[in-house]
């Protein structure tokens, strides 16, 4: 069975607005100016000048009540941009129009947990995203959030079809994962994607890959390719103090993702009701 990271296909204009609040008060200010494709920072300044501040305040309060919301919003933004186009603080170009169609077949090109590294790279390249973006937008984003055990069944219990486990998993961590996700049970039990700091936005999810403690197979595969491994080690390599700056780079990739599949003019719409086409 093909398993994808499932999500609701929500209106893209809402999702892009929501991304502006992914910062916490302790995060550095990152100002990334990006224009083109009809998007711009402050898109709603004239028509609805309080839009972004209202969304920021509302969602920040929601995340304070339930920290898991932050990871869900990251996932929704990724899926929305890929299908139809708590982190560092940065300016988000807004103005994405909503699609007129929402159906499962449109998600056929989403990355899957059991994809090979070659297929993962191909899916990202098709969207104009490179190996560095792949590392940041998948494993990097997994610094927060959780996953259901059903996404790990093959990796833990039948990796090559011989009732085996993924050899990339640290042996001690393998026992922990199997204990949390026993075969045939707890399929919908959720486990943290980053066991060391589940609600802290940092680069530890990338270090987990190097240490053999990545939860998802797709994250572990990033160490199997020279391009993605090079990007991975630039953040999680042994040269302490010389790593690339994860926060600003993650923000840059998120802005880049926001430009994937942007609809212009009559190709999209601004919905009167978020859950219905006009």
Annotated binding-site residues for heme b read 142
Q: Is 128 left (phi over 0), alpha (psi -120 to 50) or beta?
A: left
- CB count within 10 Å of CB 253 equals 20
Distance (Å, whole) CA 47 – CA 110: 34
Phi, psi at residue 4, to the nearest 5°? -120, 160
* Numbered residues of the known binding site: 111, 142-143, 194, 202
Q: Which of 23, 7, 43, 5 is nearest to 262 (CA)?
A: 43
* Numbered residues of the known binding site for substrate: 111
Crossing angle of helices 51-65 and 12-19, in 10° steps, is 70
Distance (Å, whole) CA 212 – CA 197: 16
In the set 70, 71, 79, 251, the catalytic residue is 79
- Alpha helices for the chain (secondary structure H): 12-19, 51-65, 68-83, 117-126, 131-135, 153-157, 171-180, 204-211, 217-220, 226-236, 246-258
User: Looking up tokens 């939860």, which residue turns up?
Assistant: 215
In 3-state terms, what secondary structure has residue 233?
Answer: helix
Structure tokens that stand for 212 in this block: 């053999």
Distance (Å, whole) CA 13 – CA 17: 6
* Numbered residues of the known binding site for Ca(2+): 143, 194, 202
Give catalytic status of residue 79 as yes or no.
Answer: yes
Q: Which residues are catalytic?
A: 79
């Amino acid at each position: 069975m093909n398993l994808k990271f499932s999500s609701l296909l929500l209106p893209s204009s809402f999702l892009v607005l929501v991304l502006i609040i992914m910062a916490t008060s302790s995060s550095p200010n990152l100002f990334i100016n990006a224009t083109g494709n009809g998007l711009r920072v402050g898109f709603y300044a004239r028509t609805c000048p309080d839009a972004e501040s209202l969304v920021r305040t509302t969602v920040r309060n929601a995340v304070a009540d339930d920290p898991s919301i932050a990871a869900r919003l990251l996932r929704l933004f990724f899926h929305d941009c890929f299908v139809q186009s708590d982190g560092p603080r940065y300016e988000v170009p807004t103005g994405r129009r909503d699609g007129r169609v929402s159906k499962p077949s449109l998600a056929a090109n989403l990355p899957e947990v059991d994809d090979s590294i070659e297929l993962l790279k191909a899916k990202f390249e098709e969207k104009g995203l490179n190996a560095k973006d792949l590392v940041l937008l998948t494993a990097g984003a997994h610094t927060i959030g959780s996953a259901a055990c059903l996404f790990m069944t093959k990796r833990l219990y039948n990796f090559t079809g011989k009732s085996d486990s993924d050899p990339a998993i640290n042996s001690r961590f393998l026992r922990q994962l199997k204990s949390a996700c026993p075969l045939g049970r707890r399929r919908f039990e959720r486990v943290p994607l980053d066991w060391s700091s589940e609600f802290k936005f940092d680069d530890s999810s990338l270090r987990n890959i190097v240490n053999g403690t990545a939860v998802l197979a797709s994250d572990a595969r990033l160490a199997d390719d020279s391009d993605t491994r090079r990007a991975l080690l630039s953040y999680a390599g042994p040269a302490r103090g010389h790593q690339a700056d994860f926060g600003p780079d993650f923000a840059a990739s998120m802005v880049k993702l926001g430009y994937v599949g942007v609809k212009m003019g009559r190709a999209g719409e601004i919905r009167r009701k978020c859950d219905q086409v006009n």
